[in-house]
Structure 1
Amino acid sequence: MVSGSEIVSIISQRQDREQFRRKNWIGTFEEYLELVRDDPKVTRTAYQRIYDMILSYGVEVVTKGREKEHQYRFFDDPLNGGRDAVYGLREPLHNLVNALKSAAYEYGIEKRVLLLHGPVGSSKSTIVRLLKQGLQRYSETDEGALYTLGWVDEEDPSEVHWCPMNEEPLHLIPERFREDVAASLNTGHEEDDFKVRIRGELDPFCRFMYQQRLKKYDGDWTRVVQDVRVKRVILSEKDRVGIGTFQPKDEKNQDATELTGDINYRKIAVYGSDSDPRAFNFDGEFNVANRGIVEFVEVLKLDVAFLYDLLGASQEHRIKPKKFAQTDIDEVIIGHTNEPEYRRLKNNEFMEALRDRTVKIDIPYVTTLEHEKHIYEKDYNQDTVKGKHIAPHTIEMAAMWAILTRLEEPKHAGLSRLQKLKLYNGKSLPGFTEENIAELRDQAHNEGLVGISPRYVQDKISNALVAHPDARSINPFMVLNELENGLKHHSLINDEELKQEYRDLLGVVKEEYENIVKLEVQRAIAADEDALMRLCGNYIDNIKAYTQREKVKNPFTGQYEEPDERLMRSIEEKIDIPDSRKDDFRREIMNYIGALSIDGKKFDYKTNERLNKALELKLFEDQKDSIKLTSLVSNVIDADTQKKIDVVKGRLIRDYGYDDESATDVLNYVASIFARGDTKEKN
């Protein structure tokens, strides 16, 4: 057993005290100027800093057709192991980063409120949370360092009164000297993209302290800055440093001082005036978020009085604290809202000023099946779901239904909504190119802005996990039933026609699941490697003789016979090769084998997907009757059949991710399908 001293020793060896010292650096104003001279980026604006923070994680550029997609690794949440990763929103996230880039380069968007707009549960809050956490972590790195100033106490030099708004120390430079100082600080960095630009005035507290010292030192600015100390700032939402969050309350409890600070009445007795900045708490969300980011939750629910502060903060980069003049701020202002609230904004003529000062960025639901699956697999996997096994396709079917509710009916004749889902998910269909798929997306204006929220699906998966305490495994039908039952009382869906449409889509998903598991069981039954190789060898011998107009030697009689047309067609028909195309298909296989031979490679039927599928289906057909899968339905199984079924079950567990219970369930289900098919044939 490890002792307490050994545990302490482990931590002692891993701690980085030098990093701690850098994070807690305190120096003089002159020392800060040297820091700026060495690395001008410490003076970046909030927009510049957050844009650089995102790029610091790297960008992957993916070419799709003629378009290039940017995948910003920051939104994969690498530092938290992907816990808050955002899936399937490459284009919306690219639009957001482009807006931040424009603001960083001061092209105009820095004077706007960034408004994330989308349906409930579309990751708006997650995106903002990532930005806030990322900015906090970035400020802890050497690359993301930023600094603020404070004033040495006149009576106790060991005490420093730090700026309540953590503002940029270069604001101490008088206006008439700023151009020359900036030019001096930029010397040696002419080739760099970033240049120091000194803008903004001291906040009321620092302005008061500055003027006091200026009077004390008879206008000698150099002596004033000797009383200044500069320290490293680490942004932190918990400590309310550089990161603010504002959430509207009911109208009776809303107070604009929550944004811009309020008078500290206890200190009025000390300083004698309510207009003394030392008697003011600069703790509103705009104050604490200076140099960083402020989030407005459900921003369009703000009272009108708040909107005036918001408009001034975005357009002028200034706020108006009570009893004080306009005060400069430097922060990213980002809000989020849903569709009903945004419609209210568009229909309200009094909100025209706000509309004019917002940059709307749509954050829709995911419309790609694989990405939707990732959302649920992150929370529901064998590591997180203790004591329960999640049967294959359970998460996939729930995700498929969610995606189908978000897709619009395709205008393309003969294309179903399910086929559209598969195209979006990367499956190729005859007659559809990347350009066709892009056209499908362009034609659907509200796709992803309507439909079922991931939260609803997550809730129903949770219900399925607890609603079957005796089951060791949950299967797709358990979850699909929960999804259907929940529609009766869905708080956001009041339209009965829409509920019926969603129920119909559950039927589509169940049918798709039936096809998937039938194929899996077929493959498990036909997964006899030796039998497949023998069948393949027999087929290849026959098509070789057929294409070369030769005969085949019968292994039993030793006689040469015509190629077995019945055998060849029984395999080719399994993948819908018509009789008119059989010659082409057979030549295609022989050419493929010949090309491999020229390269010195041996033919393997597994490398040809179509042939592999055809052989599996043929072998399944041949073995189905010997296994007597339908006997599972009647519960009358002889020992030989049970042995064969156990082999199939073992393959399902080994190759497809089932456990014993879910493998038994799926075999019983597929057996009932075949039994229904047999009954239909008899009728």
Structure 2
Amino acid sequence: MMESKSLLERVATEVQEDFQGNRRIMSFPQFMEAFAQHPRRHARSSAQYVRDCFGYYGRETKPQFWGDVTHFGLFNTPFDQGRNRLVGQERAQEQVFKLLENFVREGKVNKLILLHGPNGSAKSTFVDTVMRALEYYSSTEEGALYRFNWIFPTEKLAQGSSIGFGGYQTRTVDASKLESFAFLDEEDIDAKISSDLKDHPLLLIPLKQRQALLQEYIDEWIIPSEDNHSDELRERLDGEDEGDERAAPFTLSDTILRGDLSHTNRQIFDALLTAYRGDFAKVIKHVQVERFYVSRRYRSAAVTVEPQMRVDAGLRQLTVDRSLSALPASLQNQTIFEPFGDLVDANRGVIEYDDLFKRHPDFNKYLLATSEKGTVSLENRILHLDTVMMATANEDYLDAYKQTPDYSSFKGRVELVRVPYLLDYTVEEIIYREQIASVNFTKRIAPHTTFVAALWAVLTRLKRPQADQYPAMIRDIVGRLSPLEKADLYSHGRVPANIGPERARELKSVVPNLMAEGEGSASYEGRYGASPREMKMILLNASQNERYPTLSPLAVFEEMEKLVRDPSVFPFLQMKPDGPYYRHDQFIDVVRERYLDIIDLEIRSAMGLVEEEQYGEFFTRYIDHVSQWLKGEKVYNRITGRYEKPDEELMAEMEATINHEEDPEDFRRGLITSIAAFSIDNPGVKVDYQQIFPMFFEALQEAFFEERQRQIQRIEENLLTYFEGDDGALSSSEKATVETTLENLKSRYGYCDESAREAVAFLLSSRYKG
């Protein structure tokens, strides 16, 4: 009993310390002290707050072979151990951040940010992640947010001088001459009225005095105007250090610089100012500044509006805690209304309109004015909002809305941000890995299961490129790109075999143009195809297939085949084939062949017939000879200790192996140019030939294993014999080789006995039948 009491006391102490440490309640003078310490932090609009939240979690530059992209740390959800994070979509991240920057520079939110794309492309995940990041940010010292309440004390505190309350009756200042009523106990309060729109406490300061105060405490500030968009200012703002509050000029928003109290707060403020004969110091005694937190659960500055058939705000009569007699006489004679609804709850934060165009169009018309002016008209008043407005829309619904007369007006008040399906299967695979990790599977997961799902999904999304838009040097290559070659190009920068280094570099340079094809139309690459939702369903169904002991690629292939048999289920299956593209049933065979390539290579490598380093040594030696040959110089022979002419036979043997089609001299010059370009792009990084020329290393491996095909097949057959438990039929050396191979498969590639057996049997039956 004593232990539980001690535990409760400890919890109570910690809660109280947290409450006080977080400064949950302050008087208005205390808030002004906090403002004086961090004026920029406490003078932010909603756009500045959301923009700073992006900066709080940091950003990183991710180098891609076709150019760098920026990834914002908040989308990794570090505040929630990475749970339900956003994978990819860096272009959308960059666009939204730029829009927030634009709102900051203009001093107001004057457009709605509309994320649009196909079903399941992570639009809602994008907004959900931002809201979750804001929730955590609001709990930090840097992200503290404040609103205020009006406090009216009870009669028992009235004794002495009149302050003009209650008509002909008198109310008095309490005997202890409190400087603020903010910290009164509940029994000493007759009425407490919360700020209906979570008004910023600075709005309590009259406009003229507020502007002077801002100018005094914010050392370098900007009033938004057309001049603020100069290149010089943009450079200064873009170079702002997010950890230094005084690193760059601070843009004062319209809300803080010119804004005013809500209608209800203005009524109360004016009534108090009249009652106190203009004594502002007495008015603010009634102000209790309260810290609030962004919360989706409690609809505080983070609200999602589902498709519905009603307006998003309204009015209702205000009722107070105890007695209207606690209010000034001028307020007792008025009917006070308070606004309510989604827009009110979301003020000073973010509101999301989920599936915007699924609502009846009449219920979106008010957004034309609200998104541009930040106002919404109710029965007898206009609400002035400080809210970042976001929405999501399915591409088909957006296309339909574009045909309506209202779209031209709507478009001018909306910023469109496209969120397509991913086209990089290495990134797509991360989604499936994390989806699988969140499910409690009873089966083990075989290597490459998520890979085959990701590759097939991406293949279904790719479009045939428009070859005539590209330079003559590579036009034929672009025109011949198969879906798999295009997927490899997007994901790894891997070019088709035998096109030569110069054309390979040119092809890589136009990848951004390939990705941007159709960007200005409704039929862009990444709009159609299998969504992660469909692929998750395939993976879950595959996990329940009793024919397979593990969740394996073979089970996934079986589920894919079931899916494509009925094209009526999903629209992407109904698309007309375009050359080799949109042939989703054939893509299963394409992916199956790629899977066979992978396991063939892994199983052969696991046999230990040749060490991986030997390929690197062979290729390095070849490059040394090529380099000296081009210079007309000799090569140092480490064995003989002499300088000798470059070995023409060695170079010819290598070039025959990797099967190039160019003139030898042009081919060799192209190799050295590619190596030089790598060194320039990666200063200080050791040259990795396998990274620069992966296709050549694959050709070397293939050539080596072709020479030993019969030996490899025999080892694979012995593996199956071993799995069947008939290892007595194997010689001691054969058994040792099998056990080494199996151990390498487990340690290097993550196989278990069941998945290794399945992979070996599948490979033998598919490629080594004869």
Tell me if 1:223 matches 2:282: yes
Partner of 1:448: 526
Distance 1:579 1:670, change over 3 A: farther
Work out whether residues 552 and 755 of structure 2, in 8 Å CA contact, stay in contact via their aligned partners in 1.
Answer: yes
Cα distance in 2, alignment partners of residues 131 and 164 from structure 1:
24
Deviation, structure 1 residue 232: 1.6
Partner of 1:101: 101
Tell me if 1:404 matches 2:459: yes
Cα distance in 1, alignment partners of residues 570 and 37 from structure 2:
56
Tell me if 1:423 matches 2:482: no
Q: 2:594 aligns with which of 512, 517, 527?
A: 512
Deviation, structure 1 residue 87: 2.3
Deviation, structure 1 residue 521: 2.2
Cα distance in 1, alignment partners of residues 654 and 715 from structure 2:
22
Distance 1:26 1:420, change over 3 A: same
Return 200-209 or 239-248, whichever deviates more.
200-209
Partner of 2:396: 340
Cα distance in 1, alignment partners of residues 318 and 193 from structure 2:
19
CA offset digits 1:628-674 (Å, max 9, x no partner): 25757997994235654444333222221111011111111111233
> Helix, strand or coil: the match of 1:232?
strand
- How high is the sequence identity, in percent, across the aligned residues? 24
Partner of 1:560: none
Distance 1:472 1:43, change over 3 A: same
Tell me if 1:207 matches 2:298: no
Deviation, structure 1 residue 134: 1.3
Cα distance in 2, alignment partners of residues 209 and 260 from structure 1:
22
Partner of 1:596: none
Tell me if 1:503 matches 2:585: yes
Work out whether residues 345 and 355 of structure 1, in 8 Å CA contact, stay in contact via their aligned partners in 2.
Answer: no
Cα distance in 2, alignment partners of residues 443 and 427 from structure 1:
18
> Helix, strand or coil: the match of 1:379?
helix
> Helix, strand or coil: the match of 2:436?
coil
Work out whether residues 261 and 284 of structure 1, in 8 Å CA contact, stay in contact via their aligned partners in 2.
Answer: yes
Work out whether residues 113 and 415 of structure 2, in 8 Å CA contact, stay in contact via their aligned partners in 1.
Answer: yes
Work out whether residues 405 and 452 of structure 1, in 8 Å CA contact, stay in contact via their aligned partners in 2.
Answer: yes
The residue identity in structure 1 corresponding to 2:268 is: M
The residue identity in structure 2 corresponding to 1:493 is: P
Q: TM-score, normalised by structure 1?
A: 0.80
Return 452-461 or 438-447, whichever deviates more.
438-447
Cα distance in 1, alignment partners of residues 58 and 634 from structure 2:
57
Cα distance in 1, alignment partners of residues 694 and 606 from structure 2:
16
The residue identity in structure 2 corresponding to 1:419 is: E
Cα distance in 2, alignment partners of residues 348 and 615 from structure 1:
60
CA offset digits 1:266-313 (Å, max 9, x no partner): 89x9989xx999764533011011111111101123334432332232
Tell me if 1:462 matches 2:536: no
Tell me if 1:326 matches 2:382: yes
CA offset digits 1:10-44 (Å, max 9, x no partner): 98699686553243432222222222222122120
Return 43-52 or 198-207, whichever deviates more.
198-207
> Helix, strand or coil: the match of 2:366?
helix
Partner of 2:59: 59
Q: How does 1:133-172 map to 2 (within 5 A)?
A: 133-155=132-154, 158-159=188-189, 160-172=192-204
The residue identity in structure 2 corresponding to 1:655 is: R
Work out whether residues 658 and 700 of structure 2, in 8 Å CA contact, stay in contact via their aligned partners in 1.
Answer: no
Distance 1:569 1:524, change over 3 A: farther
Partner of 2:405: 349
Work out whether residues 148 and 169 of structure 1, in 8 Å CA contact, stay in contact via their aligned partners in 2.
Answer: yes
Distance 1:530 1:303, change over 3 A: closer
Q: 1:485 aligns with which of 538, 546, 562?
A: 562
Deviation, structure 1 residue 58: 1.4
CA offset digits 1:565-620 (Å, max 9, x no partner): 9x9999875543799969x99xx99xx9xxxxxxxxxxx99999789767755654
Partner of 2:710: 625
Cα distance in 2, alignment partners of residues 265 and 459 from structure 1:
50
> Helix, strand or coil: the match of 1:282?
strand
CA offset digits 1:107-161 (Å, max 9, x no partner): 67x2111101111111111111111111121111111112111111243764332
Deviation, structure 1 residue 404: 1.0
RMSD in angstroms over aligned alpha carbons? 4.5
Partner of 1:639: 730
Work out whether residues 421 and 461 of structure 2, in 8 Å CA contact, stay in contact via their aligned partners in 1.
Answer: yes
Work out whether residues 264 and 281 of structure 1, in 8 Å CA contact, stay in contact via their aligned partners in 2.
Answer: yes
Cα distance in 2, alignment partners of residues 632 and 668 from structure 1:
11
Partner of 2:122: 123
Distance 1:304 1:531, change over 3 A: closer
Deviation, structure 1 residue 442: 2.8
Q: 2:659 aligns with which of 567, 576, 591?
A: 576
Tell me if 1:263 matches 2:316: yes
Tell me if 1:432 matches 2:504: yes
Tell me if 1:662 matches 2:758: no
Distance 1:620 1:13, change over 3 A: farther
Cα distance in 2, alignment partners of residues 530 and 107 from structure 1:
59
Work out whether residues 373 and 399 of structure 1, in 8 Å CA contact, stay in contact via their aligned partners in 2.
Answer: yes
Deviation, structure 1 residue 172: 1.9
Q: 1:362 aligns with which of 418, 434, 437?
A: 418
Cα distance in 2, alignment partners of residues 359 and 530 from structure 1:
51
The residue identity in structure 2 corresponding to 1:346 is: K
Tell me if 1:113 matches 2:112: yes
Cα distance in 2, alignment partners of residues 4 and 66 from structure 1:
63
> Helix, strand or coil: the match of 2:146?
strand
The residue identity in structure 2 corresponding to 1:390 is: I
Unaligned runs of 5+ in 2: 156-183, 223-245, 326-331, 468-477, 626-632, 640-646, 676-687
Deviation, structure 1 residue 354: 1.9
> Helix, strand or coil: the match of 1:92?
helix
Return 198-207 or 118-127, whichever deviates more.
198-207
> Helix, strand or coil: the match of 2:378?
coil
Deviation, structure 1 residue 84: 2.6
> Helix, strand or coil: the match of 1:255?
coil
Return 361-370 or 59-68, whichever deviates more.
59-68
CA offset digits 1:241-270 (Å, max 9, x no partner): 212121112xxxx222xx213425989x99
Q: How does 1:559-598 map to 2 (within 5 A)?
A: 574-576=657-659
Q: How does 1:74-85 map to 2 (within 5 A)?
A: 74-85=74-85
Cα distance in 2, alignment partners of residues 350 and 606 from structure 1:
56
Partner of 1:30: 29
Work out whether residues 57 and 74 of structure 1, in 8 Å CA contact, stay in contact via their aligned partners in 2.
Answer: yes
Tell me if 1:43 matches 2:43: yes
Return 28-37 or 88-97, whichever deviates more.
28-37
Cα distance in 2, alignment partners of residues 169 and 266 from structure 1:
22
Equivalent residues, number: 633
Cα distance in 2, alignment partners of residues 129 and 74 from structure 1:
11
Deviation, structure 1 residue 224: 1.7
Cα distance in 2, alignment partners of residues 674 and 495 from structure 1:
30
Distance 1:414 1:15, change over 3 A: farther
The residue identity in structure 2 corresponding to 1:508 is: V
Partner of 1:598: none
Work out whether residues 633 and 668 of structure 1, in 8 Å CA contact, stay in contact via their aligned partners in 2.
Answer: no
Cα distance in 1, alignment partners of residues 42 and 659 from structure 2:
66
Q: TM-score, normalised by structure 2?
A: 0.72
Work out whether residues 76 and 85 of structure 1, in 8 Å CA contact, stay in contact via their aligned partners in 2.
Answer: yes
Deviation, structure 1 residue 369: 1.3
Deviation, structure 1 residue 217: 1.9
Unaligned runs of 5+ in 1: 554-562, 593-603, 679-683
Partner of 1:374: 430
Cα distance in 1, alignment partners of residues 440 and 653 from structure 2:
45
Cα distance in 1, alignment partners of residues 740 and 768 from structure 2:
21
Distance 1:471 1:38, change over 3 A: same
Deviation, structure 1 residue 76: 1.9
Distance 1:235 1:248, change over 3 A: same
Deviation, structure 1 residue 397: 0.8
Distance 1:7 1:333, change over 3 A: farther
Deviation, structure 1 residue 333: 0.5
Distance 1:639 1:14, change over 3 A: farther
Deviation, structure 1 residue 193: 2.4
Cα distance in 2, alignment partners of residues 294 and 375 from structure 1:
26
